[in-house]
Amino acid sequence: MAGLREAVTAPFTARALREVLFCLAGVGLGLGIPVLVCGSGGLGAAGAGAAAGRDGPHPPATLGFLIGTPIVLVALVVAAPLVGRGLGTVHRTLAARLLGETIPAPAPVRSGGGPLARIADATGWRAVLYSVLKLPLSVPEGYAVFCWVAGPVDLTYPFWWRLFRNHPAGVRLDPVPVVTPFGAFHVATFAGTFAAFAAGAAMVLAAPWLARGASWLDLALMRALLGPGRLAQRVRDLEETRARAVDDSAALLRRLERDLHDGAADGGHSGTAQPGHRDHRLLLRRRTARQRRQTQLRQRGHRGCPAAGRRAAGVRGR
């Protein structure tokens, strides 16, 4: 009973609206970006060919293919990782604003590498792969948006039929098409409008679940391709663990020093000596220095290679 109630009320929730807006934005980006890239590439190739073959013996179309196309391809290869990173930021922002899903941003491109470093940017190419896979993913997202738009339209057929189809008995009007995700059918009588109403009701009830499934697939793809890589995430986790360990050690040091100071003060007031306080303080300082050395070794290992960091972490055991 609860499942039936949820299925009926799902189209009228704020979550369903946000998911369909996410799908609508995904369809626009998934279909618009390839069209824009292909159109820009074609115009660039044609323009370069026309400029090169204005006075040459070959027709401009041939030179546009021979000269313009390689130039455009090289420009696309150079710009693709940077554009992919920018689009990845847009997609992560949409996921955070509309779906409440925060996907960590990858590490930025290392500065000073020049164009070759940008071309070899693995994170940028993973974002490009996401944009390529976004094209087939736009199909289920487009179905969800279509059901959200066409479903309410089909629901209105019984209400306006008698207003606009009230014609004399001898007049024959063309049937009215009813669009559905599986094709269109035609309605010629008032009784047929109830079939359109039923199709619209089914589309409205199915639309939020289609949007939810498409959004789930998109989020899974975003986590795999638009977030930090496995190695980068592992290094980030190690850095966070190290920072927490250093903070805990500092807190423990302050607490022990405070306890030793309070104990020494109590011993001075009572007139009795507190043996071992100096030894405890010396031992505590040695332990703190050793922990600092281990932290420095781990930092050097993370900057160099993860294996060195793991070897440095083993100093603690010895």
Q: Is the pLDDT of residue 60 over 60?
A: no
Q: Which pair of tokens denotes residue 162?
A: 């008698």
What mean pLDDT do residues 250-279 have?
Answer: 61
- Angle, nearest 10°, between helix axes 122-155 and 193-225? 170
What would the pLDDT profile of 8-37 be if each residue is shown by its tens digit? 787 788 989 999 999 999 998 888 776 766
**Closest to 206 in 3D by CA, of 11, 6, 2:** 11
**Closest to 67 in 3D by CA, of 83, 88, 45:** 45
Could you give the CA distance from residue 270 to residue 105 in angstroms, rounded to a whole number? 60
Tell me if 216 sits within 8 A of 140, measured CB to CB: no
CB atoms within 10 A of CB 199: 21
The residue among 221 and 315 whose pLDDT is bigger is 221
Q: Measure the CA angle with vertex 221, ends 215 and 225; round to 5°.
A: 145
pLDDT band at 108 (very low <50, low <70, confident <90, very high): confident
Q: What is the pTM of this model?
A: 0.63
Highest average pLDDT, of 9-18, 161-170, 216-225, 281-290, comes from 216-225
Kindly write down the DSSP assignment for every residue of 134-171, as one continuous string. HHHHHHHHHHHHHHHHHHHHHHTHHHHHHHH----TT-
What mean pLDDT do residues 98-104 have?
Answer: 90
pLDDT value at residue 270: 47
pLDDT band at 94 (very low <50, low <70, confident <90, very high): very high
pLDDT band at 271 (very low <50, low <70, confident <90, very high): very low
Q: Which pair of tokens denotes residue 127?
A: 């974002």
The residue among 301 and 78 whose pLDDT is bigger is 78
What mean pLDDT do residues 177-197 have?
Answer: 90
Alpha helices by DSSP H, 53-187: 60-63, 69-94, 114-119, 122-155, 157-164
Could you give the CA distance from residue 126 to residue 297 in angstroms, rounded to a whole number? 32
Kindly write down the DSSP assignment for every residue of 253-302, as one continuous string. HHHHHHHHHHHHHHHHHHT---TTHHHHHHHHHHHHHHHHHHHHHHHHHH
pLDDT band at 97 (very low <50, low <70, confident <90, very high): very high
Q: Which pair of tokens denotes residue 53?
A: 């073959």
What would the pLDDT profile of 143-161 be if each residue is shown by its tens digit? 999 999 999 999 999 998 8
Could you give the CA distance from residue 122 to residue 106 in angstroms, rounded to a whole number? 11
Could you give the CA distance from residue 131 to residue 141 in angstroms, rounded to a whole number? 15
pLDDT value at residue 213: 93
What mean pLDDT do residues 85-100 have?
Answer: 91
